[in-house]
Amino acid sequence: MIRRTFKRMSREEGAMKGTIFFLLLAVALVGCRGPEGPVGPEGPAGTLPVYITGYVESPFGGDATSDVRVEVSNVSGLPAVYVNDIKIPLDIYRGTYRFRDYDFPISAGDSAKLRVEHAKYDDGLGISQADVKLPGHFMITSHDTSGIDTIPFGNQLVITWNSSEGADLYRAGVRFFCRYRDTTDVNQEFYLNLDTLFADTSIIFASSEIFPDTTVIDSLIYYSGDFMISSLSGPWQEGEPGNVTGDGIGSFHGWTDGAILRFYAVRN
């Protein structure tokens, strides 16, 4: 199933929702890079299967390091987490053990082998494992990503990129923002937030999706947008079986960041 979720707001709605934030931190992935993952089954440890979710993310932009994050729940006692036989340090415990390494030695196209050692219901040692391969490097090909590009105001926007070897899906994060003066001489704001999963190597935004109604605009004050694309491997879709085997269940993912396209719109 492909998810495409749009949220359009007027100035009045935007005032209640808060100000626009852009994708300058790679869709909020720096500091909390990568997805949270599906929610595990609830219940006390020992009554439900050990539940594991996590990802390995390749370097992005100016960040020269890769990131590993693994969460383990429904387990009694502190588990041990390894990726490619490297032990991942405990980050935090709040009912779920979270392990994190912000400087993990792995690159796009490499394989990641997860192993989690944890207590079993009978007090023996349980082992859960998963394998995933990070998708390969790729770039946006339709626009110049070295600086801030320009697009015609009111036109549709087509963004394409080359394929990422080994990718099962792509994830796009988008923010558009526009401030304009309408025909009644009142300043207005319009913005769009988008987070979507899909299998294609291009995406098309209709004019009505990324611009306000041009017939109500007297003058354009400001318009900008940010688009980031990432390639994904592993079981990302809702309802898709997990890839963790052994004594636990869950999913372990690969995540390769592509590029950010930043642009302004120019009205003729």
> In residues, how long is the chain?
268
Render 129-149 in DSSP notation, one character per residue: EEEEEPPPP--B-SS--SSEE
Q: What is the pLDDT of residue 124?
A: 84
In the structure, what pLDDT confidence band is assigned to residue 48 with cuts at 50, 70 and 90?
A: confident
For all residues of the chain together, what is the average pLDDT?
83
Q: What is the pLDDT of residue 236?
A: 84
Domains delineated in the chain? 3-27+136-266 (no CATH), 50-133 (2.60.40.2450)
Residues 148-164, mean pLDDT to the nearest whole number = 93
Residue 16 parent element (H or E)? helix 11-17
Q: For the chain, give the percent of residues with pLDDT over 90.
A: 63
Averaged pLDDT, 13-20? 36
The long-range contacts involving 138-141, CB below 8 angstroms and separated by at least 24 positions, are 138/162, 138/163, 138/164, 138/167, 138/231, 138/256, 138/258, 139/258, 139/259, 140/227, 140/229, 140/258, 140/259, 140/261
Say if residue 69's pLDDT is above 80.
Answer: yes
Q: Tell me, yes or no, if the pTM score tops 0.85.
A: no
Q: What was the pLDDT predicted at 181?
A: 94
